[in-house]
Amino acid sequence: MAALSISPAQLNKMLSSQLSKTQDKFNKLTAQIISGVKISSMKDDAVAAKSIIKTDNELADIATYKSNLSSAGIELSQTDSTLASVNDQLQKVYDLAMTVSNGTAGATQIEAYKQELDSLIDNVKRLANTQYGDIYLFSGTRTTTPPYVEDSTGLAYGGDSGARNALIADNKSEQINLIGEDVFGKALYTKDDETGYITVDSAASSGIFASLYKMKEAMQDTSNVNYDSIKEVMGSLKNGMDNKITASRTKVGVLGSSFEDMNTAYDNDVLNLTQLKSNLQDTDLPSAISDWYSVYQSMQASYSMMSQTMDISLLNYI
């Protein structure tokens, strides 16, 4: 059987093809070492590249959820702080009612108490209209509308009962706002044009504001204070502080605490996903440098062999 003969031209072509592949591998390893990234496109490793894309999407989702949790947490903190201030004002009203209810104060002192009560009511109204950034905390979804505006018919609720939700996980959202009317109620009344005295519409009024304005009504005539009404107000105020303010603060606190726990869990997820992505994408420098040197030597050997075949090829023409 005759031996297989390979011409110098064929050998040169084979070596050239092999050298091209070696050069590509050398360039790829060089790029990986310089950039620190071993997978930059699907052609590098389709399976790993898909996993990297999936991990990036998960990290982006977590970033969104963490941002929502952060914003919601700040708003919940503002809500709790506001409610704490409301409770302080209501406690002062309660203490004032207790002082007045003993019936020992004269008309001059009652007048001073009236002014103090008006100031405390104004403070509660202001707190009920608290803004966080550009939104009113207690207006439901009508965030640009003050929840409470007083006119000649009383203090009505101007917001709605809409929930504002924060997306905190895949297909999971939580309501972060409290509805003003649920927390504070409202106070509707008629006003006497001549005396300026008010008569609270008990059937149409509710909650904390109803209690505050009933106390205002009970004290407005300094010569005829309605002490029985003030004693009733003390009970309704205590009920409002316990069942509305304290209950609302508890709800906000539990939600805020759960958000903090979720944020901590997301931090751990970010660490794990980042490590996973690094394992998939980052260059193993010791291994890559070793491969680079090996390929470099192979490439140099290929160049040397090609040089020799070219010399042989040239001799054939002499």
The tokens describing 290, both together, are: 């070793």
Comparing CA positions, the residue from 209, 143, 129, 148 lying closest to residue 176 is 143
pLDDT (tens digit per residue) in 56-91: 999 999 999 999 999 999 999 999 999 999 999 999
* Residue 25, amino acid: K
What is the model's pLDDT at position 315? 45
Task: State the number of CA atoms in the 13 A half-sphere of 201 facing the CB.
Answer: 15
- Answering whether pTM is above 0.85, one says no
What is the model's pLDDT at position 286? 64
HEC letters along 83-145: HHHHHHHHHHHHHHHHHHHCCCCCHHHHHHHHHHHHHHHHHHHHHHCCEECCEECCCCCCCCC
What is the model's pLDDT at position 314? 46
Domains along the chain with CATH numbers = 57-273 (1.20.1330.10)
Comparing CA positions, the residue from 108, 109, 149 lying closest to residue 128 is 149
What is the model's pLDDT at position 36? 60
Estimate the crossing angle of helix 46-101 against helix 207-219, to 10 degrees.
20
CA 172 to chain centre: 13
pLDDT in single tens digits along all 318 residues of the chain: 555 555 566 656 666 667 667 666 666 656 666 666 666 656 667 887 888 889 999 999 999 999 999 999 999 999 999 999 999 999 999 999 999 999 888 889 999 999 999 999 999 999 999 999 999 999 999 999 999 999 999 999 999 999 999 999 999 999 999 999 999 999 999 999 999 999 999 999 999 999 999 999 999 999 899 999 999 999 999 999 999 999 999 999 999 999 999 999 999 999 999 888 877 666 555 665 666 557 666 667 767 666 666 555 544 544
Quote the DSSP letter at residue 37.
B
DSSP bridge partners of 132: 135
CB-neighbour burial class of residue 214 (10 A; exposed 0-12, middle 13-18, buried 19+): buried
